[in-house]
Amino acid sequence: MQFTRLSQAARATSRSLSSRQLQNRKLASVASARPDVCPPYSKLVKNLGEVRKVLGTQGLTLAEKILYSHLDNAEESLGGRNGNVRGEAYLKLKVDRVAMQDASAQMALLQFMTCGLPSTAVPASIHCDHMIVGERGADVDLPKSIEGNKEVFDFLESAAKKYGIAFWAPGSGIIHQIVLENYAAPGLMMLGTDSHTPNGGGLGAIAIGVGGADAVDALVDAPWELRAPKILGVRLEGQLNGWATPKDVILHLAGKLTVRGGTGYIIEYHGPGVETLSATGMGTICNMGAEVGATTSLFPMTSSTLAYLNATGRSHVAEAAVKTQKESDYLRADETAKYDEVITINLSELEPHINGPFTPDLSTPLSKFKDVVKENNWPEKLSAGLIGSCTNSSYQDMLRAEHLVKQAAAAGLKPVADFFVTPGSEQIRATLERDQTLDVFSSAGGTVLANACGPCIGQWKRTDDIKKGDSNAIFTSYNRNFRSRNDGNAETMNFLTSPELVTAMIYSGSTTFNPMTDSIPTPDGKTFKFQPPTGPELPPNGFIPGNLDFKPAPESIPSPETPVVVSPTSNRLALLEPFKPFGTSELKDMKVLFKVKGKCTTDHISAAGAWLKYKGHLENIANNTLIGAMNAETGETNVAYDFDGSSMGIPELARKWQKEGKEWLVVAENNYGEGSAREHAALQPRYLGGRVILAKSFARIHETNLKKQGIVPLTFANEQDYDLIGSCDSVSTVGLLEMLNNGGNGEVSIEVIKKDGKKHTIPVKHTFSKDQAGFVLAGSALNLLSKKA
């Protein structure tokens, strides 16, 4: 399967996305930067001055400067705390921008539409990247995916036109790469409806992944609330060399912190090593910070930042940032700033790493990986190598991979494992095509997929002989590797690493190959050893925009007369009905629907892949609720038991109890809701009658999403009490209503009546703020926003 230039048929299909709406579209060029992409530096510096009056003379980190300068009211959030802000205060923030990918934008827009506003309050964009399948190559996959999702893409584009939102059509690229190329900037604060939004931190932006309901806060000009994060400082020293890459910085750090270690923190990188990294390399590090649970990650402005802004048509932003820094020191941490914790990484000593399988924090240095493979009896045969994704699809990533392919080709070698390449954006793809990099990948037998998420998000239709249940190993430059995530096969082991290592590995076909030390036999009987890869940060001849049909108009002006039609018979889109308010009494006699064992990510709670087509239809997507969760009492996946002992799928039992008028809760272990920002993992249980999630701990985004949808997240005061509760037990809350009515103040416990009649009282903890308590009492945050709007 070879790459060919995107055909006229594919382009015609993209143009027919909604021909009536596209016929008047103005075409953007790479240099036509929109005037609203420059942060309002004067306003932010002035706001920071007010913050300093409230906080006094204490030094601030860069993250604090940007966060606090976006406060709606500094005195209300920070006043009277004597500097005790991190981890304690709730910040009410006014953000600069919102970005939404197509899967999450559907529900976000359906919620926004209920508010009845004529336009968004802040600049926003929609990026069609999640719903494009990767199979045979861009020329085949893109038009097929556009045709199959036309109803959804038409809905998104019409809503974008109506409300003045920039619409990046299918084929334009992955949301985070496009944001980096067009919108991210030093000092900016933005929300994105995707967990890897922190990618923008590579350009010095506070970019935070959220659920759609959080995005609606910003879209309607309501302050967005965030508990003030602690700040983890990562000091970088030295300089990367040889095979080590920026990806290895975060792979190594994930191993140290684990998937929970960054929860409640912003990771702020500093130190002399920062100046040695490329802008896109810094983006890679920030992107995958999501895997340790961090609120976001952030780098200061460097010479690479400015070079990238200039190369992507934003010289005016670079100039404004330099001027602001010179006059106010806004874009650097204060010299007296203190971090809650500091981790030091010497880049000069950093070794390439490989993380996985099944979790992104199982980190192994390359030199030890061969032994670990053998010790764990993991597959030694490599079935596929995939490079690209929102994490590693920059020009530099691709040129370093090309350097390795050229080395191997000169030795007469061909890949012995399938090879897939995903450009991050149309701009990257077109530039790589001009520079003949894609021809190099094509000549090696590589398949260049559409500029979209594809296999990384589960949209991979494999064409090899691997079947469901077959144990196999793939190497990817992606960021997440949960079971079943990429191809729907729970036995596919995805090992995360740099694009360079992936590319080298496909020529050996072995997971135990170490390109730093090992050689490969060549067809002429000799041996070949790779030399360390090299590649420029930016294209020497500049970027080119590629297919302009994919890009939005330079100006996004609301068009109120544009109809946004949702068919009442559609199985893809459905208008929302508000959830009922909390009520005037405690939650009584809830039933435990399911007790979860082990890891339960948002992939387990609301699977992606083929289910993405139902993202705009709550009733239909609710049929996948918790189908990946493991039963703590039986070890079965997606098998729940009713009172009479009969078994069925979890969503089936939830629907049965809902019809019978039984409200329910789920009991879970640590870091419940880890992974993607998808708010469907909160919407679906709420829709099916869920009222409480009781866990040992929660992932940040998901805990907020639950509150926004009116579900009460509670944690065990004593984790061992998890053993005192089981499926079908009856549970009532004590003190919950009083706590909610008191704006989040008060103690809560639960009373458990076991199936055998025994009773337990279990103390629980909560993290409700005043506003969050109001969300639950109203039935959802949207109910409150709709009234205010």
What is the dihedral angle through the alpha carbons of 22, 28, 29, 32, rounded to the nearest 10 degrees? 180
Out of 528, 559, 575, pick the residue that ends a domain.
Answer: 528
- Answer whether residue 165 is part of any domain: no
Residues 523 and 613 both lie in one domain: no
Q: Is 497 a domain residue?
A: yes
Instruction: Indicate whether 770 and 633 sit together in one domain.
Output: yes
- Please give the pLDDT value at position 323: 98
**Shared domain check, 767 and 688:** yes
**Residue 787: predicted pLDDT:** 77
Percent above pLDDT 70 for the chain: 95
Q: Which amino acid is at 266?
A: I
Q: What does the alpha-carbon distance between residue 402 and residue 387 come to, in Å, rounded to a whole number?
A: 11
pLDDT at 525 over 80: yes
Are 391 and 485 in the same domain?
Answer: yes
Distance (Å, whole) CA 445 – CA 623: 39
Query: Are residues 606 and 505 part of one domain?
Result: no
**pLDDT of 227 above 60:** yes
pLDDT at 21 over 80: no
Number of domain units in the chain = 2
CATH assignment at residue 447: 3.30.499.10
pLDDT of residue 789: 64
State the Cα–Cα distance between residues 2 and 447, nearest whole angstrom.
5
Lowest pLDDT segment from 9-18, 234-243, 576-585: 9-18
Residues 435 and 509 in one domain: yes
pLDDT at 344 over 50: yes
In three-state form (DSSP H/G/I as H, E/B as E, the rest C), the secondary structure along 592-610 is EEEEEECCCEHHHHECCHH
Confirm whether 50 is domain-assigned. no
Q: Does residue 261 form part of some domain? A: no
Q: Are residues 522 and 604 in the same domain?
A: no
- Give yes or no: residues 505 and 432 share one domain: yes
Q: Are residues 497 and 644 in the same domain?
A: no
Based on the fold, state whether residues 399 and 482 are members of the same structural domain: yes
CATH number at residue 626: 3.20.19.10
Amino acid making up residue 46: K
Domain-embedded: residue 570: no
Longest dimension (CA), the chain: 81
Mean pLDDT estimate for the chain:
93
> Across residues 527-537, what is the average pLDDT?
97
Question: Is the pLDDT at 8 greater than 90, yes or no?
Answer: no
Q: Is residue 255 part of a domain?
A: no
Domain assignment present for 779: yes
pTM of the model: 0.90
CA distance 516 to 409: 18
Write down which residue in 479, 513, 528 finishes a domain: 528
Whether 607 and 482 map to the same domain: the answer is no
For residues 506 and 634, membership in a common domain is answered with no
Domain interval for residue 396: 352-528
Q: Please give the positions annotated as active site.
A: 129-130, 194, 480, 676, 678
Residue 120 lies in a domain: no
Domain boundary (501, 528, 555) is at 528
Specify the pLDDT at position 18. 39
Flag whether pLDDT at 26 surpasses 60.
no
AA identity, residue 144:
K
- 585 has a pLDDT exceeding 50: yes
Q: How far apart are CA 243 and CA 236, in angstroms?
A: 17
